Every structure is written in C-alpha cells, then in structure tokens.
A and B are shown apart, each in its own frame.
Chain A
Amino acid sequence: MSIACKNVWEHISEYLDHQLDPLLLREIELHLENCEICSAILDSTRNVLILTADDRTFELPVGYSERLHARLRLIIQGPEPTS
C-alpha cells in the first residue's frame, strides 16, 4: 500500500464529497480495498452524514408553521380589528 492510513483519514471528507483528484482517488480506493480499519471509518462517517441529513433527525415541532404564520400576519397585515 503506497498511502498510509493517516493520509486516508485526512481525505475522508473530500472522498465523501467526490472532490478528490483522480490519482489520489485511485490510491485511496486501492487502500480501502485492503484496509478494514479505514473502510470501517469511511462507512461510519458516511452513516453519520446520512443520519445528519435525515429529515427525522431534526423535526419541526407540531403547530410550528401555524404559529409562525400567525406571528408574521401581525407584522405583515397588522393586528386584526376587534369586532
């Protein structure tokens, strides 16, 4: 293996974002084929990103939109006249 584990870790983020230049990408892919540790680190980091982007991780409270619009209405249209 021509690239060390430590160098692979330094590029995990760029690897996941598909930002590596082709030469380095090839080296890292070769390394990953043969290194269980780096493969596991890559998989775990990818899973953390999936979890972060998952809509269920950060959810809106019930009634959020209604309360927001009610507040905005006061600003945009002014308070409703009392009858």
Chain B
Amino acid sequence: MPPAITTPADEPALIRRILAGESQLFYDLIRPYEKMVYVTIYAMVRNEQEAEDGAQETLINAFRHLASFRGESKFSTWLVTIAMNEGRRRLRKAKTAAEDPLDLSPEDHDGDFTPAFLTDWREIPSEALEKKEIREKLRAAVQTLPPIYREVLILRDLEELNQEETAAALGIPITTVKVRLHRARMMLQKLLVPYLKEARPARKGFFGRISP
C-alpha cells in the first residue's frame, strides 16, 4: 500500500486520531519530517550514527509526548524543537569541558562578522557548486559555527523555517534570529570562499571533468 501523503492541514485531525488510539497513523504524521529531524541533528553533531540515533530518539519522544502538543505552534516546529534539544544533549555528552564548551550565551561574541573579499567569484563556474568536496566543506563549516549561530542557520537556511517559527523553536526574539542569522551567514561565507577559489578550473571548460 503506498504511504499516505499528509499535509500540515491534515495534522490536527491525524494527531487527534493517534491520541484516540490509532497509533499506526504516527508513521503518516512524521513521514514528511523524517529527513528534517535527521538533518537538524546531523548538522549539529556531524556524525551519522549519532544523528540517526538522535533522530530515532526524537521521534520516539514525539510519540510518547504527543499529548503535550497543544497545537499552538506548527507540529513541524514542535518536532524540530525536540530534535534541537536532542542534538544539544548529544553535543554536551560528546564534548569534554576542556574542549569547546556548549555556547548558549547571548550575543557576546566579538567575532569578525565582515565577509571575505573576493573579486573573482563570478568567474567560478556553477559547476563548482556541484562538487562533492564543496558540500563536505560546507558541512564541516556549519559544524564549526558557535552553537547559537549554527542553530539559527540550521532552522532558517537548512530547514527553511520562517523567522517566527525559528524564534518560537529557539525561544528567542525575532530580532535576535535576524542578528544571529546574518552573523552565521557571514561566517560561512568567509569559511567557504577559500575552497571555492581552490575549486576554480585550470582552464575554462575543464572543470567538472576531473574525476573526484
């Protein structure tokens, strides 16, 4: 039997039925969000096994606590909040105090949030963005962002939540979402520009034919 395709509009009714005993409908409820949950945690912990275990835990928790979902936010926002908490929990577990303590402090970073200069970006062929290596560099770069910036970037630019949903999921004001997102994007731009420069072809038209 092909899986039922659910839309956010179906969710309240689906949730009521699950809570009334039709537990097997939970698979239909979460199907559109299975990837979102994994990617959210992966972008935080950057370890496939941890992310997969975390995604399973997130969805099990969502099932067990479905009755506490009040419908004040969207189901996806509620779910991504659980995923974020699971990601944070796993990060805390993985990091020793001596390393990189989990940074959830307010905007006290004196970091340099100016972008990297470049004059030849437009000479980079679009194929540069198709390279697998660039994706790996991006995954690594996302993981190096301080958590407060990374979390906003994950929700806004990866999961494509809007500002209000992001603010609700993280429990921060919209103005803070905007500030953190801007900084996160500038940091990423700076981190990635050198690799995109390296990815330039030796000569026009050659790029993309080099085997990976």
- Give chain A's interface residues, CB within 8 Å of chain B: 6, 9-10, 12-14, 16, 19, 36-37, 39-41, 43-45, 47-54, 56-58, 60-61, 64-65, 67-69, 71-72, 75-77
Chain A residues, Cβ within 8 Å of B55:
64, 68
Give Cα A52 to B188, complex, Å: 10
Chain B residues, Cβ within 8 Å of A60:
34-35, 38-39
Binds A, one of B5-13, B69-77, B135-143: B135-143
On whether the beta carbons of A72 and B119 are closer than 8 Å, the reply is: no
What are 5 inter-chain pairs, A to B, with CB distance below 8 A? Answer: A44-B118, A65-B34, A68-B55, A68-B56, A77-B23
Give 8 nearest A-B pairs by CB, closest first.
A13-B182, A58-B39, A40-B121, A41-B115, A52-B157, A57-B135, A45-B189, A44-B121
B114 to chain A, nearest CB (A): 6
B211 to chain A, nearest CB (A): 18
B113-164 residues with Cβ-Cβ distance < 8 A to A are: 114-122, 129, 134-135, 138-139, 142, 153, 157-158, 160
Q: Which of B23, B116, B153 contacts A52 (CB 8 A)?
A: B153
- Give chain B's interface residues, CB within 8 Å of chain A: 23-24, 26-27, 34-35, 38-39, 42-43, 48, 52, 55-56, 59-60, 63-64, 114-122, 129, 134-135, 138-139, 142, 153, 157-158, 160, 178, 181-182, 185-186, 188-189, 192-193, 196
On whether the beta carbons of A68 and B117 are closer than 8 Å, the reply is: no
- With known contacts A12-B115, A52-B153, A56-B135, A77–B52 Cβ distance under 8 A: no
Chain B residues, Cβ within 8 Å of A10:
182
Q: Which of B23, B121, B192 contacts A76 (CB 8 A)?
A: B23
Chain A residues, Cβ within 8 Å of B160:
53
Does more than half of chain A's interface fall in helix, strand or loop, or is it mixed?
helix
A53 to chain B, nearest CB (A): 6
Chain A residues, Cβ within 8 Å of B60:
71-72, 75
On whether the beta carbons of B52 and A67 are closer than 8 Å, the reply is: yes
On whether the beta carbons of A48 and B185 are closer than 8 Å, the reply is: yes
On whether the beta carbons of B52 and A64 are closer than 8 Å, the reply is: yes
Return the chain B residue nearest A41 by Cβ: B115
Give Cα A12 to B181, complex, Å: 11
Q: Which of B56, B135, B193 contacts A71 (CB 8 A)?
A: B56
